Structure 1
Amino acid sequence: MKFFLALLSLIFAVVLADEHDHAAHSDYVVKTNADLLRYRDECVSKLSIPADLVEKYKQWNFPDDEKTPCYLKCILEKFGLYDEEKGFDVHKIHHQLDGDKVDHSDATHGAIENCAKEAAAAGDDACVRAYRGFSCFLKDNIQLVQAGVDKGSK
């Protein structure tokens, strides 16, 4: 009986924490293509990204080179989707992709979570973690990512 009560208390605490966590993300403002362009300019300037790489980024091509991982980290941080200490914010990413009517129990959410976990296991370098997580999700969901930025523009 004590075990059952302890288990029930734990489940209740997790549910409350999840609801509180979700509430903190409900005020996320979906970013637009204009935001992306501004953030791109800021990150390119800050990191001295060469023009040839910028052209690749505009085509949604993110090579695994010396500059790109930190560029993506910069962009994701400006979007509010990634934090060097905490990693990816799965709920905010899902909001960016699907808007305010997001269903955090769907397959997209699961895919974001899986890529966030893969990124967290990528080592100590925050740029590498950002790159790995973004690349993981982009690999199978590029149209959704592109639409997530375009959606906020309309």
Structure 2
Amino acid sequence: MQSQFLLLIAAVATLLVAQTAAKFQVKTPADAKKALEECREEFYVPDEIYEKYLNYEFPDHLRTSCFVKCFLEKLELFSEKKGFNERAMIKQFTYRNFGDVATVRHGLEKCIDHNEAESDVCTWANRVFSCWLPINRHVVRKVFA
């Protein structure tokens, strides 16, 4: 009985996310790969650093912050004007497995800010994503594998 109730709640939450993020189209692994490659070309990322990016590991490096911003913008998860699109992130990373909703939301609740620190946009995008990603790296890899 309790598991049926939880499934119902997950279904309703997913439906609400789907309706509110209707304009956002879920990105495929090919979309993610294309975004990674385009950002690599734009920011001249060295091979050894790019190999880590391909595994969704973003180490401290001169190019990482703006690379992350570029990647997230190409996936329509972040924009310079509006910041992170939380609904799009939930839709993107839970469409295959509704069981990931709690983890994705927890990461967003913990990490999202509205750049109150007035950081440059690359630092802002990277700060939030670097906080969210360790909680959800397994979800990102699953969705973009």
Please state which band the TM-score falls in when normalised by the shorter chain. Answer: 0.7 to 0.9
The reply on whether 1:26 has 2:27 as its aligned counterpart is no
User: Aligned in 2, Cα 1:125/1:82: closer, same or farther, shift over 3 Å?
Assistant: same
Q: Is the 8 A contact 1:97 1:149 kept in 2?
A: no
1:113 CA drift (Å): 3.3
Matches within 5 A, 1:132-147: 132-147=127-142
Q: Is the 8 A contact 2:103 2:135 kept in 1?
A: no
Deviation per CA, 1:46-101: give whole Å up to 9, x if none: 11112121112122221122100100100000000001121100000010100188
User: Aligned in 2, Cα 1:107/1:40: closer, same or farther, shift over 3 Å?
Assistant: closer
User: Aligned in 2, Cα 1:107/1:68: closer, same or farther, shift over 3 Å?
Assistant: closer
> Structure 1: which amino acid aligns with 2:123?
V
The corresponding residue for 1:123 is: 118
Q: Note the residue ranges of structure 1 that are not aligned, 5 or more in a row.
A: 1-18
| Structure 1 counterpart SS, 2:27 | coil
The reply on whether 1:148 has 2:117 as its aligned counterpart is no
TM-score (norm 2): 0.76
| Structure 2 counterpart SS, 1:120 | coil
How many residues are matched? 129
Q: Note the residue ranges of structure 2 that are not aligned, 5 or more in a row.
A: 1-15
Larger Rg: 1
The reply on whether 1:51 has 2:52 as its aligned counterpart is no
Output the CA distance in 2 between the equivalents of 1:111 and 1:140. 6
Q: Is the 8 A contact 2:69 2:122 kept in 1?
A: yes
> Structure 1: which amino acid aligns with 2:31?
D
